[in-house]
Amino acid sequence: MKKLSAVICFFLFSVSGFSQWFWQNPLPQGNWLTSVSFPDPLHGYAVGAAGTVLKTFNAGVDWTVLSTGACGYLCSACFPDVDTGYAVGAFGTIVKKTDGGTTWTTLSYVFEANYYSVCFINSNVGYVVGDSAPYPNAGKILKTTDGGASWMTLASDTLPKLYSVFFLNADTGFVVGDVGKILKTTNGGINWISLSTGMTNYPIFSSVFFTSSDTGYIAGQTFYSPPYYGFILKTHDGGATWDSLPSGATDYASSIYFSDASTGYALGGGGTILKTSDAGTSWTTLSAGATYNLNSICFTDANTGYAVGHEGVILKTTNGGIDWNDYSKGPRDSLASVFFTDLNTGYVAGRDTSGHGAILKTTDGGTNWDTLVIGTTAPLSSVFFPDSLTGYAVGQGGTILKTTNKGINWTALTSGTTNNLSSVYFTDVDTGYAVGDGGIILKTINGGLSWTFLSSGTAWDLFSVDFPDENTGYAVGDHGIILKTVDKGVTWTVMIWGNSALSSVSFIDPDHGYAVGYNRLLMRTTDGGLTWDILSDFENGNYFSVFMIDAHTAYLVGDIISCGIIYKIVDNSVYFMMGVNDRLHGVYFPDGMTGYAVGEDGYILKTDNGGGPVGISETKNVTNSLKLYPNPTSGNLTIEAPEKGTLIVFDLNGVLLLQQELREPSTTIDVNTLPGGVYLVKLVGVKRVQVGKFIKQ
């Protein structure tokens, strides 16, 4: 019955069938959670970004991350009983579980639709609401009477987006959505009547809940015209008239739930939880201790309830909201860099929630992380250990820290600059380099006791430095500049410049390397930087870190529209591994199979099998014989290919729009509902990946 505003639901997807990365911090995971449902007091489920599904079997004490096979954002879940559950979300996704959550079946996948809310009145009869192209008149209501085996469309096209559905019984139900839309049925969805609240400022109705056939509530927010505020509405006559309640909701109201006729709860921004004990006449703000936005709430009895929200927060109360416990654990530092000295011992550097420098350490392969005492408030951007004892970290204001006892103690070194330092690399315990703002390159040959300013030949900021051997080094930075030295930094040569800013460089030997940067710029060289192949270059995203494990393989992390991404690179092919809710800034592999990625909100992810089998290639520089026509097109598009494979269609933001198997030499797809623009087509075959573009008029 829960929904989430459309704005946050659909920028993120994960190829969960391919990716084999798992969370180490925060726990149980860090993706946004959008919906929570408990079919009984012990068993509960929460769903969210990147196809995330969590399950508890002991009333929320422990949560397990499940795999559904869903590739999109899951926005709503409903579990009519312990054995049967449904979840819906981006790309028209509807998934179902029938065996306690272990196995999930995909019932629907429609790339031009997004589903925001699901409500089942029993294990077989249920409703889904959402939208479908063309926009903005795109509302849709679906119904099933056979447990999702088939779906009938009850209303669509002329409606605005619909965000929440609630049924009191087999006959009476309500749907709410964009621009103040309220629909009511009294015959199981055969007919719908439109109700009005009298609001004239185009409100968004986010959530609806009825305690009886006469009494119901709507939570929402104004959006299209100021002043912007949240609100709660109530009806006493089955929706014929509506009154605004004095809730005190100042931001927005995302979800509303009543545990009985008098007691109700509403959620909002900044961790807000409101409670009424008199059927909405008055509301009090509860102290939950949460700072993240909350999206969904449910109660299993008068006292026991759960709320979930951004950054994977899971709250529980056992006394009617007086106290709340947070079952999401782990530091929420902003993590910029990761380094491991062996398979078990690793370090992560960044800044804590107060903006001060922070270094975390693990000695058990990331199972546990401890915050070290480092003696500085300056945020840190890079950490490096030339051996198991000795490590260095650099950061804001020319900060350089050193440890000689595995991080137990850290000493501040004198760098000679107040410029921000972005990256540090040591070729041995004594010889190291640091780069930063204003084209600064520092070098030490005595373990950091003193630092020499090297002549970089540029005033542009430098963001990353890497030395594949003691003589040969590379540095990259603003304006796409790439510098190279072959004499231990005495002289630096500008190899290339003029592209988007480059944020990271990694070489496995003096010849083979990758450089990545803003606008998802990815470049590869096999001749020591004399020539570079541009493998990807897209807008609406950035690559922040790249790490090579051999001459053919590397991993990179970054963001697409502020959501974190992990890619695997094999020669000139780029494979999407995983998506998460927030930016990822650093990646490191202590061996060919074991790797770590770190980022905002304390994100630490690990793989112990090289990330799993490669998934969808996003290669740009591929020879192919893929034919697309007519191009441009306004309706159908025909794809001719010499081999079978998986067809994938993306927009230029990297959003997956269509995936299907090609079994014939010629296949026609309907792109009539796509907005006008440029789209990418990829055919992943057995032996190669072919790419193409088409224009939708």
CA gap 398, 558 in Å, rounded: 25
Structure confidence by residue, pLDDT tens digits, 10-44: 334 444 444 589 999 999 999 999 999 999 999 99
Predicted confidence at residue 558, as pLDDT, reads 95
Predicted confidence at residue 508, as pLDDT, reads 97
Average pLDDT of span 138-153:
93
Average model confidence (pLDDT) for the chain?
A: 88
CA gap 643, 624 in Å, rounded: 11
Domains defined along the chain, listed by start:
6-20+30-326 (2.130.10.10), 334-607 (2.130.10.10), 627-696 (2.60.40.3080)
Average pLDDT of span 328-348:
96
pLDDT(491) > 80: yes
* Cα torsion angle, 456, 457, 458, 464, sign: negative
Which of 200-204, 552-556, 657-661 has the largest mean confidence? 552-556
Query: Which residue, 482, 480, 433, is CA-closest to 457?
Result: 482
Predicted confidence at residue 134, as pLDDT, reads 58
Average pLDDT of span 132-150:
84
Query: Which residue, 286, 337, 300, 295, is CA-closest to 314?
Result: 295
Predicted confidence at residue 224, as pLDDT, reads 62
- pLDDT band at 654; cut points 50, 70, 90: low
Query: Which residue, 286, 275, 177, 266, is CA-closest to 217?
Result: 266
- pLDDT band at 150; cut points 50, 70, 90: very high
Predicted confidence at residue 157, as pLDDT, reads 54
- pLDDT band at 111; cut points 50, 70, 90: low
* Cα pseudo-dihedral 617, 619, 623, 628, rounded to 10: 70
Report residue 572 as tokens: 């000139």
Question: What's the one-letter identity of residue 387?
Answer: D
User: pLDDT: is 622 or 679 the higher one?
Assistant: 679
Predicted confidence at residue 250, as pLDDT, reads 65
Average pLDDT of span 591-614:
91
Average pLDDT of span 216-243:
88
pLDDT(251) > 80: no
Range with the poorest average pLDDT among 4-8, 18-22, 156-160, 404-408: 4-8
Q: What percent of the chain has pLDDT over 70?
A: 89
Predicted confidence at residue 10, as pLDDT, reads 38
Predicted confidence at residue 6, as pLDDT, reads 32
Structure confidence by residue, pLDDT tens digits, 278-301: 999 999 999 888 888 999 999 999
Predicted confidence at residue 618, as pLDDT, reads 46
Report residue 644 as tokens: 């079978």
Per-residue H/E/C for 76-97 = EEECCCCCCEEEEEHHHEEEEE
Average pLDDT of span 475-485:
95
Average pLDDT of span 487-497:
89
User: pLDDT: is 258 or 581 the higher one?
Assistant: 258
- pLDDT band at 228; cut points 50, 70, 90: low
- pLDDT band at 498; cut points 50, 70, 90: low
Q: Tokens 């930016």 map to which residue?
A: 583
Angle value at C-alpha 604, between 418 and 14, nearest 5 degrees = 120
- pLDDT band at 674; cut points 50, 70, 90: confident
Predicted confidence at residue 591, as pLDDT, reads 95
Average pLDDT of span 106-121:
87
Burial of 553 (0-12, 13-18, 19+ CB in 10 A): middle
Predicted confidence at residue 13, as pLDDT, reads 43
